[in-house]
Amino acid sequence: MVAAPYLGAQSLKANPDALPDGWEAAQQLHRIKRQGGPFTDEVAKRAVEAVVGRARSLLRHARRPMTSVADAWPAEGELDLSATLENPRPWAPEDLVLSRREPRDADVVAILDMSLSMTGEKIALVAVAAAILRLKLGPVGLVAFDSDSHVLVPLGEALPVREVVRRVLMVPAQGYTHIAAGLDTGLQQLRRSHRRERVGLLLSDGIYNMGHDPVRMASQYPALHVVQLGRDLPQGRRSCVGMAQAGRGKRFHAPTYAALPRVVKRVVRELF
């Protein structure tokens, strides 16, 4: 669908009813917030609703990731007969093995490339990806980076999905691409976690133009997965593959930003 032409501040002042709505609001928010004015908050609200709606539609039939947990009587769960039979006889009550399904015990920090090229629909689609992570995995940490890095959502802060989306949408697209800085801040967030699994998820084209080689920082992660965004250029591929391998993770590829939400949904399904 072709977006309606962008309306400048003077047009909006003359006709507030012309405010963009739905996905168009999400696409145009970065231009409106740059100009400021009384309509920014209203367009931001519409953009947030559009992003959350798109994320929910992609997850309509998806379940929250669960894991199987084995425990001993009298814990809750169903009898695991085969596991119980492996225990030596005679059996005591505590030899009964019970199993149950619980949400995956993992802390996740997503590290988002928000440098100068991230404008318009690109930011909106990154926000959809962040909403998918929040809806499927529960509270996740979010870090944005450009020439520097910024914590958008501290790990463990259980913000509503709309607030998570709003924080992503309101990040100004600016600066260079300092991937190592983003990874450093993401790692600091993960070090606050006491969960069994601690996972970083980097969303970037992998082409850094500031700072040192991010592969060194990636090697310090307990686990780091990388979603390479955009064209599969050799420099970006080498960097993304190198970071994923150093971080004992996987490299995924979203050939276009439009493909990003579905790729992130696949990442959640395969990894969690």
- pLDDT one-digit tens code per residue, 60-90: 865 555 566 566 667 666 777 777 777 777 7
Average pLDDT of the segment spanning 138-165: 96
Helix (H) or strand (E) holding 78: strand 78-79
Tens digits of residue pLDDT in 168-223: 999 988 899 999 999 999 999 999 998 889 999 999 999 999 999 999 999 999 99
CATH says 106-271 is which class?
alpha beta
DSSP class per residue in 178-208:
-HHHHHHHHHHHHTT--SSEEEEEEEE-S--
Helix axis angle, 40-58 relative to 260-271, nearest 10°? 50
- pLDDT higher than threshold 60 for residue 132: yes
As a whole number of angstroms, the distance between CA 267 and CA 272 comes to 8
Of 5-14, 61-70, 119-128, give the range with the top mean pLDDT. 119-128
DSSP state of 16: G
Distance CA 64, CA 79 (A): 23
Distances (CA, A) of 171 to 38, 90, 120, 220, 270: 18, 63, 12, 27, 29
**Residue extents of the structural domains in the chain:** 9-57, 67-102, 106-271
